[in-house]
Amino acid sequence: MKNNIVFTVVARNYLSLALTLGDSLKEVHPEIEYRIYCSDGLEGINPSEFKHKVFDAIYAVGDDYKNMAFKYNVTEFCTAIKPYIFDALITENNWDKILYLDPDMMVFSDMSYIISALEKKSIFITPHIVDCNIKDMNVYPEYHHLWEGIFNFGFCAIKVDEHSRKFISWWRERLKNHCYVDKHDGLHTDQKWGDYLPVFFSDVIHISKHYGINMAHWNLSERELSINSDGKYCVNEFPLVIFHFSGFDFYGKTLTKHVDGKLQEIYLNKPNLIALADMYRKKVLENGLEAFIKNKYKHSYFNNDVVVLALHRRLYRECFDSIQGIDPFDSNQDFYKKLSENKLLDLSNDGLDGYTKNSISDFDKKKKKIEFFLRLVFRLIGVKKYYLFLKVMGVYSRIEENKFIMKN
């Protein structure tokens, strides 16, 4: 498999995942080039110390880097720059086939099926699920994919030709400004755009129905993991090629944190899955998870170490995104000054992206207080006006609609 390359994109705090992916790839395909691109640079990291090649993504992204790093959160940014790196690798003119794998994946057997498919087609993608069942038996319901995207772009691959070049150029142009997780706009990072591919590139796209490629928690209802007589993992009689440990629970005992409550029991009752999860957890920890995880995401801070909030990113999207030549991280430039003037900065240093009901203390008590307030509003204004009130608040629950809090 000469002239083929695999790359991944990761923030520094999750480098141990990318190293684990690299280990698994090299065990199966020592001849394939593998690169790790760090989305928040190499500060505090010496690439020469690693067994796999590590690069600063800024050199692939170029002039769009700071604008995108600011307006997108870590997940959005890491996915938005994927086509930029594809493009940079195409420009190197060394590679016949380029494969992207998310850092939270492992390779278990040879990828000849993928490489062979790319001899005939230009683009290789995998749906979240492939079986049509009248009753949805998925632990992770099918309707989630109607927003997240029919295809999972944790894995995708191309053969370098005129068709894939067009795809990458189109994808790059879209993700430059539209790679948000935003239900209002129908966006879900890079992969929602993939829904167009069977239309735009119908003649040159391979939509994989191989059960062993991109197996993950969302398709377990249609895929049974087993071990054959040679001790190799199989999925419905297919060899397990790539497993996607999306939302993995590194300090627990289960496979993913994306499924709550009793549904977790479905995973816990599958011994082969639990063994796979235990093996992955061990390998990632051995590759330095606890050390790397201490690296703060660089793009969570202005250059004076004040925290960048999700609020700031979305206000920037609405108010400043079209202005060229500014550094939104620079505390001496206009955007930061506007935030400061309007008392929109959080100097507590704990306002990082990613608040969830699980990370907010006494969430249920606080929820009840809000519900008490809303009941009072309902009693005061009546059912008709309360309905209108909810409609209006639905509009203003979107951060971009609150640009009025930035005067001037």
- Cα-Cα end-to-end distance for the chain: 58
Query: Which residues on adjacent β-strands are paired with residue 106?
Result: 243
Q: Has residue 111 got a pLDDT over 60?
A: yes
CATH of domain 4-291: 3.90.550.10
In the chain, pLDDT over 70 holds for what percent of residues? 94
In this predicted structure, what is the pLDDT of residue 39?
98
In the chain, pLDDT over 90 holds for what percent of residues? 77
pLDDT, tens digit (0-9, with 9 covering 90-100), for 19-72: 999 999 999 999 999 999 999 999 999 999 999 999 999 999 999 999 999 999
Hey, where are the domains in the chain? 4-291, 313-408
Q: Are the beta carbons of 104 and 255 closer than 8 angstroms?
A: no
Q: Which amino acid is at 344?
A: L
pLDDT, tens digit (0-9, with 9 covering 90-100), for 252-262: 777 777 776 66
Q: Has residue 200 got a pLDDT over 70?
A: yes
3-state secondary structure the chain: CCCEEEEEEECHHHHHHHHHHHHHHHHHCCCCEEEEEECCCCCCCCHHHCCCEEEECHHHHHHHHHHHHHHCCHHHHHHHCHHHHHHHHHHHCCCCEEEEECCCEEECCCCHHHHHHHHHCCEEEEECCCCCCCCCCCCCCCCHHHHHCCEEEEEEEEECCHHHHHHHHHHHHHHCCCCCEECCCCEECEHHHHHHHHHHCCCCEEECCCCCEEECHHHHHHCCEEECCCCCEEECCEECCEEECCCCCCCCCCCCCCCCHHHHHHHHCCHHHHHHHHHHHHHHHHCCHHHHCCCCCHHHECCCCCECCHHHHHHHHHHCCCCCCCCCCCCCCHHHHHHHHCCCCCCCCCCCCCCCCCCCCCHHHHHHHHHHHHHHHHHHHHHHHHHHHHHHHHHHCCHHHHHHHCCC
Torsion (CA) 264, 223, 32, 249 in degrees, nearest 10? 0
Q: What pTM does this model have?
A: 0.93
23 vs 26: CA distance, rounded Å: 5
| φ and ψ at residue 190, rounded to 5 degrees | -80, -25
pLDDT, tens digit (0-9, with 9 covering 90-100), for 119-137: 999 999 999 999 998 988 7
Q: Which of 131, 100, 299 is nearest to 220 (CA)?
A: 131
In this predicted structure, what is the pLDDT of residue 1?
47
Q: Extract the tokens encoding 325.
A: 């030549």
Contacts 24+ apart (CB under 8 A), 167-175: 167/122, 167/123, 167/197, 167/200, 167/201, 168/83, 168/86, 168/87, 168/90, 169/83, 169/87, 170/200, 171/82, 171/83, 171/86, 172/83, 172/84, 172/86, 172/87, 175/79, 175/80, 175/81, 175/82, 175/83
In this predicted structure, what is the pLDDT of residue 361?
73
Instruction: Please state, rounded to an integer, the average pLDDT across all residues of the chain.
Output: 92
Q: Has residue 374 got a pLDDT over 60?
A: yes
pLDDT, tens digit (0-9, with 9 covering 90-100), for 154-180: 999 999 999 999 999 999 999 999 999
R_g (Cα) of the chain, nearest Å: 23
Q: Has residue 148 got a pLDDT over 70?
A: yes
